[in-house]
Amino acid sequence: MDIRTNTIAGWILAALFVALGFGMVGNLLFKPEPLEKPGYPIEGAVEATDAGEAAPEVPIEVMMASADMAKGAEVFKKCASCHNAVDGGANGIGPGLWGIIGKPIAQHAGFAYSDVLKARGGNWDFATMNEWLTNPRKFASGTKMSFAGLAKPEDRANVIVWLNAQGSNLPLPAAPEAAAAETTATPDNAADAAAAPADNAAVPAAE
């Protein structure tokens, strides 16, 4: 090995030692700190809870209180290929839905329901209809209905209120907060409330 080759090899080794030295010094000067939370913050994103769960969904009763029937009619267009909601309308691929809210499940005359839906029992009340529209196959595993469901709760609220207006016209359920306020009221509280205006009435000035 000649002197030139030795010189080149020496320079290479020296460069490696210098790079190694800089790396060690850098680690000492700039010690990385572990992140409190992995990833990068995204503005406008909904933060999950500590358990990794999304924020709880707003109860359907709350959303129904401000539902839009016109939007519900638009949502129903997704169902119109199989159902109608006309008074006296014939069954199609699916049963007619006129007056469906409040009716027994799987009992519409003239329609051949799946056994699993017939075995479900109960009525199509607001909560049950919301559960069905969220995921029909989860509601009744083995149902003949192929529709995947409505993922958006506002869509379900709108179409349920619209369906209710097609022959059922049942009073909408109270939102959970309003129902809780009504149940906490007692006769004593009511009496106090009735007496309050008299207690607070203006007293005539003495003459």
Per-residue pLDDT of the chain (207 residues; tens, 9 = 90+): 567 777 777 778 777 776 676 666 566 655 555 555 555 544 444 444 444 555 667 899 999 999 999 999 999 999 999 999 999 999 999 999 999 999 999 999 999 999 999 999 999 999 999 999 999 999 999 998 989 999 999 999 999 999 999 999 999 988 776 555 555 554 455 444 444 444 443 333 333
Residue 55 lies in a domain: no
Q: Which amino acid is at 173?
A: P
In terms of Cβ atoms closer than 10 Å to its own Cβ (0-12, 13-18, 19+), residue 163 is buried
Q: What is the model's pLDDT at position 21?
A: 65
pLDDT for residue 133? 96
How many independent structural domains does the chain possess?
1
The Cα–Cα gap between 114 and 125 comes to 20
Q: What is the pLDDT of residue 13?
A: 74
Q: Report pLDDT for 117.
A: 94
142 domain residue, yes or no: yes
CA distances, 125 to each of 40, 103, 122, 164 (Å): 44, 8, 9, 10
124 within domain boundaries: yes
143 within some domain = yes
pLDDT at 146: 87
Residue at 31 is within a domain: no
Instruction: Find the CATH number of the domain harbouring 68.
Output: 1.10.760.10
The answer as to whether 190 is a domain residue is: no
Task: Give pLDDT, residue 55.
Answer: 60
The pLDDT value recorded for residue 37 is: 53
* 174 occurs within a structural domain: no
Residue 127 lies in a domain: yes
Domain that holds residue 140: 60-164
Return the bridge partners of 123, or none.
104
